[in-house]
Chains A and B, each alone.
Chain A
Amino acid sequence: MNTIRNYLESMFANLPNTPEVIKAKCELGQMMEDKYTELINEGKSDNEAVAQVISEFGNLEELGDALGISRILSEQNDTAGKTRQVSAEDAERYLADSSHYALLHGLATFFAIICPSGVILAGSLNPGSRTLMAVGGFFLLASVAVCVTLHVYSSLHMGRWSFLKDEPCTIDYATAGMVNDLRRSTHDSVILQRTIAILLFCTCYIPLVFLAVLDRRAIASAFGVVILLFMVALAVLLLTVSSSRVSSCSRLLDLSRSFTVSGSGTENRGRVVYKNSAVRAVMSVYWPTVTCLYLMISFLTFSWAISWIIWPIASVIRTLLESIFGTKGEQ
């Protein structure tokens, strides 16, 4: 019976979400269910019954006039060649690829953040030593090289999925369900990763403070700074990985448009839309800007104990901006 229900859902998945269409779907579903039940009672196997019900369903074009959607059906036939159907295997491969390359992206950022640690250690250990300075400098250049390589490599590989952004694509009902389940199942680990990241952000200055208090030598503070850099880098890595899973699932789910029947099956995420294009541009880089601001202020003033206040303030400001400039809901 589930096969039949899925079949019906996918037949109706790309039709507009109107009362006529919903009524037709219920009515047809009822007829199919009645037929299936009777075939089973006659002693047919599940497979035989499903095959017969589906083969005797007919085709949707016959419903065109009845539902007032002939125009939409013929439009769909026109765009059928242009709209790309993303299969379940493709969706899985995309999710696997995006988490794989998000890890590489995260590692690239990791190296970008820790690159000065060699120089810092060398400078405080023995400021006069050219050899140590050279080793530190080598580490810096090598880290930057690794960072750039990883970035370019992962961007090139993710490039083959750019059609998801550039071309009209759709996913069918079953795939949307699978992606939705996947997103829900990773929810806990995403929360855990984010909590650890925030914990790292909040505590990263503690080793530095301790080392500086316990040991007055420059090397101790330098060591503290290096630990701080590693903790921040690790936190950013965790954030990158955790947000990639969420955003790639959302990208796939967004492909089933909200005004179609299958779109109503996925939860409405109540996305805020900005009418003003300037506001939209600013809001799209809001959180990266806040992060930069936070890191800059914190590193320049080293007042980590208080600079976290930027986050709650930023989130209040964002909510204010959303209610002033944004309209809730899709479209």
Chain B
Amino acid sequence: MGISSDVIRGYNDTIILCLLLDEPSYGYEISRKIRTITADAYIIKETTLYSAFTRMEKNGYIESYPGFADNGKRRTYYRITDSGRKYYREKCEEWKLTKNVIEHFIREGE
């Protein structure tokens, strides 16, 4: 069974911010990490990723800066800002709450 993109949509930002917590990164690397960490269960679409980048940059959660790939090609990198870290913490709290609420209604073995 595939993952429902409707449910995960509200947490795309959280996923991306989490991956940026330790070090700056660029588009494809983030999408590859999401894929390997979830063991191919969630594959983020390029357009979803790009619209998340622009939205979060507009809100001031991340910053973009030009960098260079190993082969010398230009590439846009993203790093998390302080308000991005704050937003990430809020989202984590929100998820815990949500998870607790939903958990009450999940019955195994039905």
A contact set with B: CB distance below 8 Å: 24, 27-28, 30-32, 34-35, 38, 56-60, 62-63, 65-67
Q: A38 to B71, alpha carbons, bound, how many Å? A: 13
Query: Chain B interface residue count: which class?
Result: 10 to 19
Q: Write out the residue numbers on chain B whose beta carbons fall within 8 Å of the beta carbon of A66.
A: 50-51, 54-55
A-B contact count (CB 8 A): 57
Q: Does B49 contact A (CB under 8 A)?
A: yes
The smallest C-beta distance from A69 to any residue of chain B, in angstroms, reads 12
Q: Which of these, A30, A35, A38, A63, contacts B47 with CB under 8 Å?
A: A63
Q: Does chain A have a CB within 8 A of B48?
A: yes
Contact B54 A32 (CB under 8 A): no
Output the least CB separation between B59 and chain A (Å): 12
Complex CA gap A63/B52 in Å reads: 9
| Residue ID in chain B nearest A24 by CB atoms | B50
A61 and chain B: residue at smallest CB distance:
B47
> For the complex, what is the distance from the CA of A75 to the CA of B86, rounded to whole Å?
38
When A56-B43, A60-B47 are in contact, do A27 and B28 touch as well, CB less than 8 Å?
no
Q: Is B90 an interface residue (CB 8 A)?
A: no
Are B28 and A56 neighbours in the complex by a CB distance under 8 Å?
no
User: Top 6 closest A-B pairs, CB basis?
Assistant: A58-B45, A58-B47, A34-B28, A66-B54, A31-B27, A66-B51
Is A31 within 8 A of B32, CB to CB? Answer: no
Across-interface contacts of B75 in A (CB, < 8 A): 30
Contacts of A67 in B (CB 8 A): 54
List, in ascending order, chain B residues with CB within 8 A of A27's CB. Answer: 27, 50, 53, 76
The residue that B32 contacts in the complex, of A28, A38, A57, A65, with Cβ under 8 A, is A38
A210 to B27, CA, bound (A): 79
B46 interface residue (CB < 8 Å to A):
yes
Chain A hits for B51, CB < 8 A? 62-63, 65-66
B28 touches A65 (CB 8 A): no
Q: Is the CB of A62 within 8 A of B47?
A: yes
Name the B residues within 8 Å of A32 (CB-CB): 46
Closest CB in chain A relative to B43 CB, distance in Å: 6
Instruction: List chain B residues, Cβ under 8 A from A30.
Output: 27-28, 73, 75-76
